[in-house]
Amino acid sequence: MIIPKSSLIVSCQAPVDSPLFDPKIIAAMAKAAVNQGAKGIRINTPNHVKQVRQELPNIPLIGLWKQDYSGYDIYITPCYHDAVAIAEAGADIIAIDGTLRNRPQGETLADLINNIHQKLGKLVMADVDTIENAIASAQAGADFVGTTLYGYTKETENFQPPGFSLLEEMSQKLTVPIIAEGGISTPEDAKKALNYGAYSVVVGTAITGIDLKVKAFQGMFK
């Protein structure tokens, strides 16, 4: 299943220490999003992907697995065996870290994308932070490239998402579909992203980030 152009993708995730970090609750979030018109869902961890796939068999699903490997900064589906677990859980598209940072087990970005295509038969969304990594991901065969990591890496830590400047440059230099993700907090932001050339838009915290939203509001009462 392919995500339609100019559509909303909702990222349904929760912190691991939150009561919302439960497969059925994540699936409920996803169903609520789809009921209101979302055309795709982005889900973290195999268990959550599996639950959402069972309850929403006909919605495009971007799956990923955030993994911490000692000595490595990379964490979004870092290795092929992480991608295998996400594919087996039912994802249509596997999101990976699309930077050129070192990966565990000596894998390269190109190897990971090729293995996902050839061995798993799945599409790949490469999450990037810079135009250099966006170009590298496209050249390595990524089917979609997202602005997801803008502001979240050492190279971009001084920048604040959403990465509209990166999005605009990507739209000028890439031919693969670009997905705007990260810091999209209003419908106006989403519209702006489309105007800058995004194929589709992912919204997460602004819709499903209850923990972070409450924490931000509560900070005003201290």
Residue 201 φ/ψ, nearest 5 degrees: -130, 135
pLDDT at residue 184 above 70? yes
pLDDT tens readout for residues 29-80: 999 999 999 999 999 999 999 999 999 999 999 999 999 999 999 999 999 9
| Mean pLDDT along residues 155-181 | 95
- Binned at pLDDT 50, 70 and 90, residue 1 comes out as low
| DSSP codes joined into one string, 50-107 | HHHHHH-TTS-EEEE-B---TT----BS-SHHHHHHHHHHT-SEEEEE-S-S--GGG-
Q: Specify the pTM.
A: 0.95
CB atoms within 10 A of CB 35: 8
